[in-house]
Amino acid sequence: MQLEVIGVGGAGCRIADAIRAAEPADHAFLTDVFAFDTDESDLKRTVVPESHRHRYGQGTGLDAADDLERRFELGESHAGELLEAVERESSTAADARLVAVGLGGVTGGGVAPALVAALQRRDDAPVYVLATLPADREFDPDADAGDTGPHSGATASPTAASSGPPRPNAAANAVATLERLDGLASAIVCFDNEAWLRPGETITDARDRCNRELARRVTAVFAGGGESDGPVAQNVIDASDVERIVGNESAIVALGYGDQTVETSGSRFGLGLIPSEPDVETSEAVSAVETVVRKGIRGKLSLECEPESADRGLLIVGGPPAWLNRRAIAEGRGVLQSTVGGNGVLGGDAPRPDGETVFAAVVLAGVESDRLEELRAAADRTA
């Protein structure tokens, strides 16, 4: 499928950068990538081409101390301006759009709902939101306040813990933005910073690693039906399949991923002179697929939840063609179907001739997560 990515705010722009960097060279799926922010210096740091960057909010009295409600108002007034920037530079019609935003602050969260609504009115292409949730240390004085979350632009300082949490309204902001997006976004893919932070990890290390992890999952899902220079999938996952699974009613979505490095070298006549597809034992291929599917379903998700709580599911297994055992992929889909329950499960394969891993991307749509309830409770405490 063909996807247009729009990053709003500092965090959203960095995520858009990471997705652009993760796009496979031989399996293009991005039509355009845009970066929208109020901070000119942040925009200059993005790798998005200058023609696709846009600064908004000049002359409107934007202030770092603005509350989210004021930013929602400003978002309404600037949504048309941002939509015009998209329409002016869009090169190809996209099957879907993905708006990346970091929740907890006010820059991206303030404009995202109005922008999503404007994009939905533009045409029939679904608009998905990729939202990062704030870590506890951003708003909880009892948590480790020496860091401000992997997608923030702040730098930890030796006195950060003693000076109090830098964003006490982060939980309330995240909840308020999610509520605004409900009914506007076709679906909301969540990535929980709290679950992905490591003890003692620096802010820069956490931010880059988490963005790569998120981009890897997004790419594995949305590049399934992209333009390929190599073998065609037996079961192609296209835009309509993704839309069927995630729906159009603002379902909360969690992404799972698992991979395993496999042997990709091979030669004819055993001389090692002419490269060829490796001879893969069926048992090895089956084992590799089973392993990555299990990791994808039961491993670390972008948003912690019980897979059984999902209403629908999607499984994409990819990697070197010789390793994509059809029977194992079908059985993996069966495992996901038995986990989710019902018939709302689709599956496909994604051949990657130049890849060195077998991977499984899992989409769990309509999930229930205790983490969202925790954020709501934290928001209530700061109200």
How far CA 207 is from CA of 114, 156, 254, 342, in Å, comes to 26, 12, 19, 37
Which pLDDT value is given to residue 297?
A: 97
Same domain, 293 and 192: no
Residues 6+ apart with CB under 8 A from 260: 288, 291, 292, 357, 358, 359
Which pLDDT value is given to residue 144?
A: 57
Same domain, 174 and 265: no
Closest CA to 40 of 53, 59, 25: 53
- What's the DSSP call for residue 309? G
Which range has the top average pLDDT, 141-145, 151-155, 330-334?
Answer: 330-334
Which pLDDT value is given to residue 81?
A: 94
Same domain, 105 and 196: yes
CA distance 102 to 79: 18
Output the six-digit token pair for 180.
């605004």
Q: What percentage of the chain reaches a pLDDT higher than 90?
A: 70
CA distance 38 to 106: 11
241 domain-assigned: no
Contact predicate 148/202, CB 8 Å: no
Same domain, 375 and 333: no
Please give the distance of CA 328 from its chain centroid, rounded to a whole number: 27
Same domain, 56 and 197: yes
Residue 167's pLDDT band, with cuts at 50, 70 and 90, is confident
CA distance 191 to 84: 29
320 domain-assigned: yes
Does 150 have pLDDT greater than 60? Answer: no
Residue 114's pLDDT band, with cuts at 50, 70 and 90, is very high
314 domain-assigned: yes
CATH at residue 271: 3.30.1330.20
Phi then psi for residue 310, to 5 deg, are -70, 145
233 domain-assigned: no
Same domain, 260 and 185: no
CA distance 94 to 110: 25
Beta-carbon count within 10 A of 100 CB: 35
Domain count, the chain: 2
Give strand ranges (E) for the chain: 3-8, 27-28, 30-37, 53-55, 96-102, 127-133, 187-192, 227-228, 251-261, 312-319, 345-351, 357-365
Which pLDDT value is given to residue 25?
A: 82
Same domain, 173 and 65: yes
Average pLDDT over residues 352-376: 95
Same domain, 77 and 48: yes
CA distance 340 to 308: 5
Closest CA to 245 of 364, 108, 374, 103: 364
Domain limits for position 361: 254-365
235 domain-assigned: no
Closest CA to 277 of 324, 240, 236, 210: 324
Q: Which residues pair with 321 in a beta bridge?
A: none
85 domain-assigned: yes
Contact predicate 323/289, CB 8 Å: yes
Which pLDDT value is given to residue 272?
A: 46
Same domain, 289 and 195: no
- What's the DSSP call for residue 192? E
How far CA 169 is from CA of 64, 74, 244, 340, in Å, comes to 13, 19, 35, 35
Contact predicate 107/10, CB 8 Å: yes
Residue 303's pLDDT band, with cuts at 50, 70 and 90, is very high
Q: What is the pLDDT of residues 250-290, one digit of tens each?
A: 999 999 999 999 998 754 344 444 445 567 899 999 999 99
Q: Give me the amino acid identity at 152.
A: S
Q: Give me the amino acid identity at 168.
A: P
Contact predicate 34/54, CB 8 Å: yes
Lowest mean pLDDT of 51-60, 302-311, 319-328, 352-361, name the range: 51-60
Which pLDDT value is given to residue 134?
A: 92
CATH at residue 152: 3.40.50.1440
Which pLDDT value is given to residue 64?
A: 57
Please give the distance of CA 18 from its chain centroid, rounded to a whole number: 10
CA distance 222 to 238: 8
Does 202 have pLDDT greater than 60? Answer: no
Does 62 have pLDDT greater than 70? Answer: no
Which pLDDT value is given to residue 158?
A: 37
Lowest mean pLDDT of 14-18, 161-165, 313-317, name the range: 161-165
How far CA 199 is from CA of 127, 137, 195, 205, in Å, comes to 35, 12, 11, 12
Residue 59's pLDDT band, with cuts at 50, 70 and 90, is low
Which pLDDT value is given to residue 60?
A: 66
Which pLDDT value is given to residue 234?
A: 84
Q: Give me the amino acid identity at 37.
A: D
Output the six-digit token pair for 67.
């509350």
Output the six-digit token pair for 36.
């929208």
